[in-house]
Amino acid sequence: MAEQPDHIGCAHCADEPAPTGAHIRGWFTAIAAALVVAACAMGWFTPFPQWTAPLFIAATVVGAVFPAQRAWRSLTRATLDINVLMVVAVIGAMVIRQFEEAALVVSLFAAAQWLEAQSLDRARQAIGRLLDLAATDVLIQDDGGERRVDIEQVAPGALMIVRPGDKIALDGIVRSGRSDVNQAPITGESLPTDKSEGDEVFAGTINGHGALTVAVTRRRADTTLARIVHLVESAQARRAPMQQFIDRFACWYTPSVVMLAILIATVPVIAWGQPFDTWLYRALVLLVVSCPCALVISTPVSIVSALAGAARHGVLVKAGIHLERLAGVRVVAFDKTGTVTTGRLTLDAARPIGSMTADDLVRLAASVESQSEHPIAAAILSAAQARGVRPDTPGEVRALPGLGVEGRVNGTSIVCGTPRLMSERGVMTSEAEAVAMDIVRQGMSPVVVAADGIVLGVLGVTDRPKPDAARVVSDLRANGVARVAMITGDHDAVARATGSQLGVDDVRAGQLPADKVAAIEHLRSAHGAVAMIGDGVNDAPALAAADVGIVMGAMGSDAALETADIAVMTDELSKVPYTIRLSRATLANIRANVALSIGLKAAFVLLAVSGMATLWMAVLADTGASALVVANAVRLRRFS
C-alpha cells in the first residue's frame, strides 16, 4: 500500500502543497471566482448576454490550471485521483456546452480545496508551534563575560543566563538563582514550578520573576521539547488501523465509480436510445459526487486534532493507534511507588538488630543507596543527612530490580532490600522477620540491611498515595474501566493497605519486573485489553507487554519517553482518565465522520443516477461534507 493516499487523494491529502504554490493557487481561485461573478452579472444585468459564455469559459480555464496539472501527475503514476475526475467532468461539461456548470464546478472545487488545506494546516501547526517556543540565540556567560550565541552553537556544559520573563532556550540544570518557571507550554500544568540550584529546567518553558544561571545539558536537537515535537510529528505520519481500512476501501472504490460512470454514459444511450447529453451529464455528476474527500480526511484530521489537544495538556501520544487501543481498554494497572504514590518517601524507623546503633545502620544503608536511583534511596539519604551521619563511598554497586541494591563499603559487602531478597540469600533470621513484620504492621515498607551475610537491622520507609489517587481510581470506573489493578514489588501487607485506601480491585505485591509482565498477561486474558501506568525504566517490560504503556513524569527522562506509548509529562494521575476519555471521544469522532461522509455520498450517488443532482450541487455536497468533517474533528483540540 502506498504511503500517501494519492490514488484517491484530494488536494490536502495529496502531495506537498508548496507555500508559494499555495499562494499562487489562492490567486487563481480568486480570479476564477471573479470571472464567474462577472459572467453572471453580464447575463443578468446587461444587454450583452453573449459575453457570459466566453467569461464562463475563461473562468473554467483559469480555475482548471492547477487541477489539470495535478491530474496529469496522477495519470503519469497510473492512478485516478479527484483531480482527474474533476478535469474529466469539466471537459465533459464543455462538450455538452454546459459552460456555466463547468465554471461553477471548477471554482467551487478550487475554493473547497483551498479551505480544507487551510484548516488542516491549522491543526498541524498547533504542534509545530511548540518548537517556535524556543529562542534562536542564547545569553551565555564565559571567561569573556556575557554574550549572545547562536542556539545551534551552544554545547552541553555552557552556562546560560536566563533573565526574568525570558523563554528558557535549552534544557539544563540550575546552577544559581531562584525563580518560578511556567512549564505549561510542555506540561499543560498551569501552576508555575519553583526552581533553584540543582533543579532541571526545560527548553520552551518560561521563566518567572527571578534570574537563573543554568548549566546547559542538551544540544538544541536533543532537548525534551525537540524530542516531543519529533515524536508527535512521526505520530502523525503513522497510520491508525481505521485509516488503513479507508485506504483499502478507496483502492477499489475509485475504479468502480469510474466504471459505473462509463456504464451510465453509454448503456442507456446504446440500449434504449436515450439522449446522449442527459446521460453523459449524469455520469459526470456521479464522477464529481464520488470524490471520497471527506472520507479520506475523516480519520487523519480527527487524530491530528486529538494529538494536538493531548499535547496541550502535557500528554504525548506517540501514534494514533495508541489512542484507538486506549479507547478499548478494560483494565488499568498501576505501578505503586512513584506512580500512585508520591515517590517522595520518608524514613520513619531504623531498628538495629544486635549491638549496632541506629545511626550506623542508616550510614551503612545510605552508603550503598548513594548510587541507587530508587525513590527509597532518596529517603535513606535524606535521613542520613538529617541525622548528621556521612555515608562512605561505595564500590561495585549493583541494582537488583524489584528487590534491592548491593555494593561494597570499606571492604564489607552490604545488601539493602526486601525480606524476600534476604530469604533467597539465606540470611534472614526469625528475629529480623519479627522486626520487619512489626514495621509492616505500622504501615511502613521494610528495608532489611545485611553486611557480609549477617542482618544488621531493618529500616522502615513510608510512602503516601498522591492526594488525587483515590479520585482518579473512581474516575476511571466512571469512565467504563472494568477493573483497576495495582502491581508492585513492595511488601504484600503495605501494598494491600495502599490498595484499599485507593479502592483498587486487584493488588499484586512482591512482583519482580518479570512477574509484572505475567500479571499483565493474566489480567488481559481474564478481563480484556490492559493499560499499564508506570514511572519508567524499571517498569519497561510491563509497559511493553501491556496493550498501551503510559509513563508518568516523563519530562526530562529520555528513557521514559522511549518506553512509553503515551507519555504524561507531569506526574498528575488525573491525566490518565483524561486521556482515556479523549481516546473514546476520538474514536466516536472518527466514526461520526466516516458515517457522515459515506452517508452523504450514498445519498448523492442516488440523486446523481436518478438525474436529480446537478454538477455544482455535487461539488457543494462534497465541500460541505469535508467542511463538516474538519469542523467536527477540530473540536477534539479543545476536549478536556
Interface ranges with ligand ADP (CB under 6 A)? 335-337, 369, 372, 374, 376-377, 402-405, 416-418, 445, 447, 488-490, 538
Q: What is the dihedral of CA 236, 242, 245, 250, to 10 degrees?
A: -60
User: How many C-beta neighbours within 10 Å does residue 493 have?
Assistant: 15
Q: Which does 374 bind (CB under 5 to 8 A by kind): Mg ion, ligand ADP, none?
A: ligand ADP
CA 66 to each of CA 72, 86, 622: distance values in angstroms, whole numbers, following the listed order:
10, 11, 19
Measured at the CA of 436, the angle between CA 431 and CA 438, to 5 degrees, comes to 95
Choice from 337, 367, 583, 586 touching Mg ion (CB under 5 A) = 337
Integer Cα distance of 634 and 585 in angstroms? 12
Q: Cβ of residue 556: shortest distance to ligand ADP, in angstroms?
A: 19
Among 335, 406, 565, 572, the residue binding Mg ion under the rule CB under 5 A is 335
Looking at beta carbons only, is 254 or 337 nearer to ligand ADP? 337
Q: From the candidates 335, 490, 565, 622, give the one annotated as an active-site residue.
A: 335
The partner residues of 179 in beta bridges, in order of sequence, read 195
For residue 512, what is the DSSP state? -
Q: Rounded distance, CA 631 to CA 625, Å? A: 10
Q: In terms of CB distance, is 415 or 608 closer to ligand ADP?
A: 415
Question: Residue count at the site for Mg ion (CB under 5 A)?
Answer: 3
Number of H helices, E strands in the chain: 21, 22
| Nearest distance, CB of residue 550 and ligand ADP, angstroms | 15
From the list 3, 31, 1, the residue with the least C-alpha distance to 15 is 3
Q: 292: which residues sit within 8 A by CB, 6+ positions away?
A: 8, 250, 253, 254, 597, 601
463 as an active site residue: the answer is: no
Q: Shortest approach of ligand ADP to residue 219 CB, angstroms?
A: 32
Under rule CB under 5 A, residue 247 binds Mg ion: no
Closest contact distance (angstroms) between CB of 358 and ligand ADP is: 17
Minimum CB distance to Mg ion, residue 535 (Å) = 5
Whether the CB-CB separation of 450 and 431 falls below 8 Å is answered with: no
Q: What is the nearest approach in angstroms of Mg ion to the Cβ of residue 476? A: 19
Output phi, psi for 441, to 5 deg. Answer: -60, -30
Q: Which is nearer to Mg ion, 168 or 469 (CB)?
A: 469
Shorter beta-carbon distance to ligand ADP: residue 421 or 619? 421
Which range binds Mg ion by CB under 5 A, 188-196, 272-280, 330-338, 521-529? 330-338
| Least distance from Mg ion to the Cβ atom of residue 527, Å | 23
Residue 533 or 580 having the CB closest to Mg ion: 533
Q: What is the DSSP letter of 172?
A: E
Least distance from ligand ADP to the Cβ atom of residue 505, Å: 18
Among 14-22, 248-256, 332-340, 505-513, which window interacts with Mg ion (CB under 5 A)? 332-340
Which residue lies nearer to ligand ADP by CB, 193 or 342? 342
* CB nearer to ligand ADP: pick between 82 and 416: 416
Which SS3 state, helix, strand or coil, does residue 236 take? Answer: helix
Q: Which is nearer to Mg ion, 292 or 338 (CB)?
A: 338
Q: Cell digits for 47?
A: 444587454
Cβ burial 266-304 (10 Å sphere, 16+ → b, else e): eebbeeeeeeeeebbbbbbbbbbbbbbbbbbbbbbbbbb
Contact partners, residue 489, CB within 8 Å, separation at least 6? 337, 402, 403, 418, 509, 510, 511, 512, 513
Stretch that binds Mg ion, among 261-269, 338-346, 398-406, 508-516 (CB under 5 A): 338-346
Residue 100 touches which of Mg ion, ligand ADP, none (Cβ within 5-8 Å per kind): none
Query: CA nearest 66: which of 50, 56, 81?
Result: 81
C-alpha 337, offset from chain centre? 25
Residues identified as active-site = 335
Which parts of this chain interact with Mg ion (CB under 5 A)?
Answer: 335, 337-338
